């Protein structure tokens, strides 16, 4: 099983700041990695797929990078609606999610 680890567990930032979230895989997943956003009481929303492609309707302030075992989700300038939990997910070998990074308001 491919294990995904995310860091930090919590990121406390102010609106307008840049957020950098990390996801590391226990073995290479090539570029088969996605990022999701989840707000309380809601289903997750796909943000980024294949490491760096924005899903339909996702604002340009969200970007993804990386390949192999190390990946990054960057939110260039936090909007109030961006405070949420973010999960990475791989599809290289079945499917696993990381434990999540909570982005909260400083």
Partner 1 sequence: EVQLVESGGGLVQPGGSLRLSCSASGFTFSGYLMHWVRQAPGKGLVWVSRINSDGSDTSYADSVKGRFTISRDNAKNTLFLQMNSLRAEDTAVYYCTRAVSYFNFWGQGTLVTVSS
CB 102 within 8 A of CB 9: yes
Give the DSSP letter of residue 55.
P
Binder among 36, 62, 71, 83 for partner 1 (CB under 8 A): 36
Determine phi and psi for 80, rounding to 5 degrees. -55, -35
Residues touching partner 1, count (CB under 8 A): 23
Q: Which of residues 45-64 bind partner 1 (CB under 8 A)?
A: 45-46, 49-50, 55-56
Footprint of partner 1 (CB under 8 A): 1, 32, 34, 36, 38, 43-46, 49-50, 55-56, 87, 89, 91, 94-100
């Amino acid at each position: 099983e491919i294990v995904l680890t995310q860091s930090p567990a919590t990121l406390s930032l102010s609106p307008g700041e840049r957020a950098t979230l990390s996801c590391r895989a226990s073995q290479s997943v090539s570029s088969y990695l996605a990022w999701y956003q989840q707000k309380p009481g809601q289903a997750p929303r796909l943000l980024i797929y294949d490491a760096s492609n924005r899903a339909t309707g996702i604002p340009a302030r969200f970007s993804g990078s990386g390949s192999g075992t190390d990946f990054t989700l960057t939110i260039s300038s936090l909007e109030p609606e961006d405070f949420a939990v973010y999960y990475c997910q791989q599809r290289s070998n079945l499917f696993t999610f990381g434990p999540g990074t909570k982005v909260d308001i400083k």
